[in-house]
Structure 1
Amino acid sequence: MQARAPVEAADPAEARPGGHDGVYQSIRERILSMVGTIEEPVHLREEDVAQELSVSRTPVREALKRLGQEGLISLQPRRGAVLMPVTLKEYTDWLKLRAELESFIASEAALNASKHDVDHLRSIFAPFNENNLDERVDEYAAANVAFHAYLMRLANNLVLEKIWNSFGHGQMLRSKTIQRLNRAHDSLREHLAIIDAIDARNAELASQLAKAHVLGLLGQVNKSR
């Protein structure tokens, strides 16, 4: 009798609905957490990633291919998946684009937000004030990401979300930028002003404040070069 090839053990990520998406999301989050900290290219080996996530290589391979198509990583012949550092030029180019996107997002959020949504936006920054902000800057950076993600949700625009997901990896440098430029206090005041405009359903003001918020960051980044 001819010997049968061993069958690869069932992968939990492949067995459950949406499992491959779960692997993709896990790898994407890991990449985004790394991109703002690395200074040299990082080779992402399928087998290493699969072992860390306790899944087979198949969903990892598919996730890396998808991330390569999105531009988050580079798929290179004979080298496989490579995560490249985000350059300062790429980051400032992203901020210029983001200023326009955030302007539109805030405008749409002002038109769509319910009282519950406004309360949630305020709750994101409720733990922070002028007295404790310097001590909690890492927490504030995470709140900053959560705030902009919620505004994106309120904009309710799938096309915009695809654009953001394609280019938004550059924004992951924000946490370090907030710390390096000592920008947390200005950022908090600007965010609260945007929330006030959304609460008043003043789409034009929310749009103006959101754009100014990003351009203010861009100005500080350029000055710090």
Structure 2
Amino acid sequence: MTTTVEQTLLTDSGARTIGRTTLHGEVAARLRAMILEGELPPGAHIPEVQLCTEFGVSRTPLREALKVLASEGLVELLHSRGAIVKPISIREVADIFEVMAGLEVLNGRLVCERATDAQIDHLRGLHEQLGHHHRNGQRTEYFRLNQTIHGAIATVADNGVLLGLHADFSGKIRRARYIANMLQARWDESLEEHESFMTALLARDGELMGRRLGEHMHNTGVAVMRALREIAT
């Protein structure tokens, strides 16, 4: 039975206190971040003993966390041989980006129709913060906020089915998108594209917003596929 406890999770920068929540959920969150941001690359063996020491936990919550990540498609459990980070399928990623480009076109149209002025102001504030991260070379912070912005746009578009699809597919390609953002040229292009679709949003031009959001997702997909193929060779 899962219990709630006070626990301290150790990170490279020191101790980080976990509040009263499910311990394996906190461990899963930390492992998920390590996988999505490339600290544990595709195909890597999960070093359970090392992670238990680093996180300050026993094997039980770690293994429960691995089961959670396996259900999300991030980890592959090996019979009697621990677990590995699930390899990225290049074909699956390509297919998802094609679908995501279409979803973003619809998101762009709907958000311009349905967003309140306050919601647009909030998105503009997030965008300004994104530029700050870019200027200061904060790649990880930029990537996380980038994901937040796209999720916020999908939320403000106010279509539950569309939001569910967007969240599901975004999770499946998050690792691959992070790889592309490690390339300086694509990072610069990404910010320019964000500037472009935010300009359309502020003008409430749904057709232009949708087109630019779709193009942004397409261009990200092209960069991701190029990076993945280079890694595979």
Q: TM-score, normalised by structure 1?
A: 0.72
Distance verdict in 2 for CA 1:207–1:128, change over 3 Å: closer
Match status 1:65 vs 2:59: no
Mapped to 2, the partners of 1:197 and 1:15 lie a distance apart of 41
> Cα deviations across residues 125-150 of structure 1 (Å, max 9, x unaligned)?
32676xx9577372544442332233
**2:194 alignment partner in structure 1:** 191
- Select the structure that is richer in strand: 2
**1:16 alignment partner in structure 2:** 20
Match status 1:77 vs 2:71: no
What is the DSSP-based 3-state SS (H/G/I as helix, E as strand, rest coil) of the residue aligned with 2:41?
coil
Mapped to 1, the partners of 2:220 and 2:181 lie a distance apart of 9
Residue pair 2:5, 2:21 contacting (<8 A) in 1 also: no
Give the C-alpha shift of residue 30 in structure 1.
1.8
Residue pair 2:101, 2:217 contacting (<8 A) in 1 also: yes
Residue pair 1:95, 1:218 contacting (<8 A) in 2 also: yes
Give the C-alpha shift of residue 181 in structure 1.
6.7
**Percent identity among equivalent residues?**
29
Match status 1:26 vs 2:30: yes
Larger radius of gyration: 1
Give the C-alpha shift of residue 220 in structure 1.
4.8
Residue pair 1:99, 1:212 contacting (<8 A) in 2 also: yes
Q: 2:128 aligns with which of 108, 126, 129?
A: 126
Q: Indicate the RMSD between aligned Cα atoms, in angstroms.
A: 3.6
Distance verdict in 2 for CA 1:158–1:69, change over 3 Å: farther
Mapped to 1, the partners of 2:208 and 2:54 lie a distance apart of 46
Mapped to 2, the partners of 1:184 and 1:80 lie a distance apart of 36
What is the DSSP-based 3-state SS (H/G/I as helix, E as strand, rest coil) of the residue aligned with 2:87?
coil
Structure 1: where are the runs of 5+ without partners? 1-9
Q: TM-score, normalised by structure 2?
A: 0.70
Mapped to 2, the partners of 1:221 and 1:38 lie a distance apart of 15
Give the C-alpha shift of residue 67 in structure 1.
1.3
Distance verdict in 2 for CA 1:105–1:52, change over 3 Å: farther
Distance verdict in 2 for CA 1:20–1:123, change over 3 Å: same
Structure 2: where are the runs of 5+ without partners? 8-17
